[in-house]
C-alpha cells in the first residue's frame, strides 16, 4: 500500500514505501535536477539510496554518427556539451585523426590548446556557480561566474565567429588562424581574470561558512575513486594524480609545463577547490601557449577514406576524461563510434555514495553539484 502525497514543491512528488521510508522524485523538472531525475530513498533526514534516472535527452548520437561522414559527425558530437564544446569535439576529432593517420600542424595544436583551455575555464566557472547556488550562496557567486564568462565568450566569438558550438576543430587542424588583436585582448582578459579568481577565493571558497557546509561531506576515498571509475577534477580531488593532458598528451600539452591539481580529502569541498585551482592552471597554460606559438599553416589535407582499423583516443574535458573508440571498415563513414563521457562515470559515484556513508537529504544538492553533473553529456 503506497499513498501518494504532494510535496511542498509542485515539482517534487513523494511516495511512501513503508518502514517510514519515502521515495522522493527530484526532477526531471526540479530546479536542482537539470534534465535528469534523482530518485532519493529517505526517511526524511538520512538518505539511503540515490538513483540517477538519465536519458531524458538521449539523442542517439552514437547511432547518428554511423550515418554521417567523419566531417559531418562534428556537428552532433559537439552538441553533447554546449558549455564545453571544443574539449568534447577534440575527443572525436582526435580519434578521427588517428583513424585517418594524419597529424595537425604545430600551430593548429597551439590554437586548439588555447581554445580548449578557454572552454575549460568557462565550464569550471559554470560548475562553481551551480555549486555555490546549491550551497545557498546564490546571489553573489552564481551571478559573478555567469558575468565573468562573458569576456571569454566574446573572445571565442572573435576567433571562431560564434559564442558556442562553433565547429572550430576539423580533422587535420582548425578552421581559421588567429585574427589581428586577439592575442593582446586575450592577455588583458587573463590578467583581469586572475584577479577575479582571488575574489572568488576570498569571498567564497576560503570562507568559513562554505567550508563548514562542504568539508567532510560526500567523501570518496582514493580506492573508491579508482574502482568506481571517477573522472576529472573529482578523481584528482580524491588524490589520484591522473590528468589526460599530462598522462597521454594531445594537442600542444606535451610541450607545455603545468602541474596536476590534486587534493587528498576527496570531499565536496576538495572538488570545488580543485576547480578553482584548475582555472589558475588553465590561465598559466594559455599564457605559455601564447608565448611559444609557432608560425605556419593551421590545416593539413584530409584523406577522404581511412584504412580499416580501430582507434582509441582519450581527452580531458572540463568534467573529466572522455574517451572515443572508433571502428572503421575503410568507408567514408565510421562503422562504430563509442563515446564514454565523463558525467556518465561520475553519476555512478553519486549512486554509490549513500551506500558507503551517511548522507543527509539537505546535502543532496550540494553533493550532486560538487560532482559537476551534465545530463546531456551522459545521455548522448
Partner 1 sequence: MLSEDIVSQIKEVLGEAVLELKSPEDKRIFLKVPSERVLEIANRLKDEFGFDMPISAGGTDYPKKNVIELFWIIWHSEMNKVLILKCEVDRENPEVDSLTKVWPGVQKFERETWELLGVNYKGHPRLKPLLLPEDWTEGYPLRKDFDLKPYRSKWGEKY
Owner of C-alpha cell 536542482: 32
CB of 233 to partner 1, least distance (A): 16
CB of 228 to partner 1, least distance (A): 5
- CA 109 – CA 34 distance, rounded (Å): 34
Identify the bridge partners of residue 309 per DSSP, sorted by sequence position. 328
- CA 350 – CA 303 distance, rounded (Å): 43
CB of 247 to partner 1, least distance (A): 5
With b for 16 or more beta-carbon neighbours within 10 A and e for fewer, the 363-374 pattern comes to bbbbbbbbbbbb
Query: Is the Cβ of residue 168 or residue 228 nearer to partner 1 in the bound state?
Result: 228
CB of 347 to partner 1, least distance (A): 7
| Tally of residues, the chain | 380
Cβ neighbours around 184 below 10 Å, total = 10
CB of 320 to partner 1, least distance (A): 10
What nine digits make up the cell of 19? 518502514
Query: Is the Cβ of residue 242 or residue 374 nearer to partner 1 in the bound state?
Result: 242
CB of 338 to partner 1, least distance (A): 4
Identify the bridge partners of residue 313 per DSSP, sorted by sequence position. 324
Cis omega (within 30 of 0) on the bond before 28?
yes
Residue 300 φ/ψ region, left for φ over 0, alpha for ψ in the -120 to 50 degree band, beta for the rest: beta
- CA 13 – CA 10 distance, rounded (Å): 8
CB of 276 to partner 1, least distance (A): 25
Query: Is the Cβ of residue 128 or residue 376 nearer to partner 1 in the bound state?
Result: 376
- CA 292 – CA 279 distance, rounded (Å): 20
Q: Are 113 and 289 in contact (CB under 8 A)?
A: yes
Query: Is the Cβ of residue 44 or residue 309 nearer to partner 1 in the bound state?
Result: 309
Query: Is the Cβ of residue 129 or residue 334 nearer to partner 1 in the bound state?
Result: 334
- Binding residues for partner 1, per CB under 8 A? 54-55, 58, 60, 62-64, 67, 226-231, 240, 242, 247-248, 310, 312, 314, 321, 323, 325, 327, 335-336, 338, 340, 344-345, 347-348, 352, 379-380
Query: Is the Cβ of residue 153 or residue 352 nearer to partner 1 in the bound state?
Result: 352
Query: Is the Cβ of residue 154 or residue 227 nearer to partner 1 in the bound state?
Result: 227
Amino acid at each position: 500500500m503506497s499513498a501518494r502525497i504532494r510535496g511542498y514543491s509542485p515539482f517534487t512528488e513523494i511516495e511512501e514505501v513503508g518502514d517510514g521510508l519515502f521515495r522522493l522524485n527530484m526532477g526531471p523538472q526540479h530546479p536542482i535536477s537539470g534534465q535528469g531525475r534523482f530518485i532519493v530513498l529517505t526517511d526524511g533526514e538520512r538518505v539511503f539510496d540515490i538513483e540517477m534516472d538519465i536519458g531524458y535527452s538521449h539523442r542517439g548520437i552514437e547511432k547518428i554518427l554511423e550515418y554521417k561522414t567523419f566531417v559531418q559527425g562534428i556537428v552532433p558530437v559537439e552538441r553533447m556539451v554546449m558549455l564545453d564544446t571544443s574539449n568534447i569535439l577534440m575527443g572525436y576529432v582526435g580519434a578521427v585523426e588517428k583513424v585517418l593517420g594524419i597529424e595537425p600542424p604545430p600551430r593548429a595544436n597551439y590554437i586548439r590548446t588555447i581554445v580548449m583551455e578557454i572552454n575549460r575555464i568557462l565550464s569550471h566557472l559554470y560548475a562553481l556557480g551551480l555549486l555555490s547556488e546549491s550551497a545557498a550562496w546564490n546571489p553573489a557567486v552564481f551571478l559573478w561566474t555567469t558575468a565573468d564568462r562573458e569576456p571569454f565568450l566574446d573572445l571565442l566569438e572573435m576567433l571562431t565567429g560564434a559564442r558556442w558550438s562553433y565547429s572550430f576543430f576539423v580533422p587535420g587542424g582548425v578552421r581559421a588562424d588567429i585574427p589581428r588583436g586577439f592575442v593582446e585582448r586575450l592577455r588583458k582578459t587573463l590578467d583581469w581574470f586572475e584577479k577575479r579568481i582571488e575574489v572568488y577565493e576570498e569571498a567564497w571558497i576560503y570562507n568559513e561558512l562554505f567550508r563548514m557546509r562542504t568539508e567532510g561531506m560526500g567523501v570518496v576515498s582514493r580506492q573508491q575513486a579508482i574502482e568506481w571509475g571517477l573522472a576529472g577534477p573529482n578523481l584528482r580531488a580524491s588524490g589520484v594524480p591522473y590528468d589526460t593532458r599530462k598522462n597521454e598528451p594531445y594537442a600542444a600539452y606535451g610541450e607545455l609545463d603545468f602541474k596536476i591539481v590534486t587534493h587528498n580529502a576527496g570531499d565536496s569541498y576538495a572538488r570545488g577547490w580543485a576547480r578553482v585551482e584548475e582555472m589558475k592552471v588553465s590561465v598559466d597554460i594559455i599564457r605559455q601557449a601564447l608565448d611559444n606559438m609557432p608560425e605556419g599553416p593551421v590545416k593539413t589535407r584530409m584523406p577522404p577514406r581511412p584504412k580499416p582499423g580501430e582507434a582509441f583516443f582519450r581527452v580531458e574535458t572540463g568534467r573529466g576524461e572522455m574517451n572515443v573508440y572508433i571502428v572503421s571498415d575503410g568507408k567514408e563513414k565510421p562503422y562504430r563510434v563509442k563515446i564514454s563521457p565523463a558525467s556518465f562515470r561520475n553519476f555512478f559515484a553519486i549512486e554509490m555514495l549513500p551506500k558507503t556513508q551517511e548522507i543527509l537529504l539537505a546535502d543532496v544538492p550540494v553533493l550532486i553539484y560538487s560532482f559537476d553533473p551534465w545530463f546531456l553529456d551522459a545521455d548522448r
